[in-house]
Amino acid sequence: MTIHNGRFLRALDSELGGIENLASAMMQFTMQVTTVLEEIKDLLTPPELVPGPATEALIRRVRVNTAGTVVQGPDVAIPPGVSSVIRQRRHTTSPNGYIALNEHDASSTGTRIETVNGDTVVLVLSNWNKIWFDSDTNNTDFELIAEQ
């Protein structure tokens, strides 16, 4: 019986060592998974729009001085994730305004947005210089607004 118990103890010791190794491997795996999940979370979490004390809103005006002459928006960078509201300002007459994403499209009837007094368009842009304006009437103003 002693011999039998001796084999049992050796077998148990061997298995316990294996179980301890398995437990250690599982702990390491858990730590690695936790680290990877934290990295994924950091990548999926959007950055602060404007960190620290910074401008909370941007407002600019674009004027089409001469009808039919396309005007590029100002070179103003917009933080990621911030939408831009473009509004055609009120005018004494009711001119048609045009907004497009390139110079050619601003004068092409099929690929531009047509606006009248007070109409707004919301776009997500990285810079206001990526939009172009035109109008049927001289001195037509557009407002560009971005806020966090």
Domain boundaries 57-147, CATH class: mainly beta
Helix (H) or strand (E) holding 71: strand 71-72
Mean pLDDT of the chain: 82
Sequence ranges of the domains in the chain: 1-45, 57-147
For 33-91, write each residue's pLDDT tens digit: 898 888 888 777 765 555 555 557 788 999 999 998 999 999 999 988 889 999 998 77
16 has a pLDDT exceeding 70: no
Tokens 């304006």 -> residue = 133
Average pLDDT over residues 128-141: 92
Confidence of residue 20 (pLDDT cuts 50, 70, 90): confident
Indicate the pTM of the whole model: 0.61
How far is Cα 88 from Cα 124, in angstroms, rounded to an integer?
Answer: 17
Distance of CA 6 to the CA centre of its chain: 68
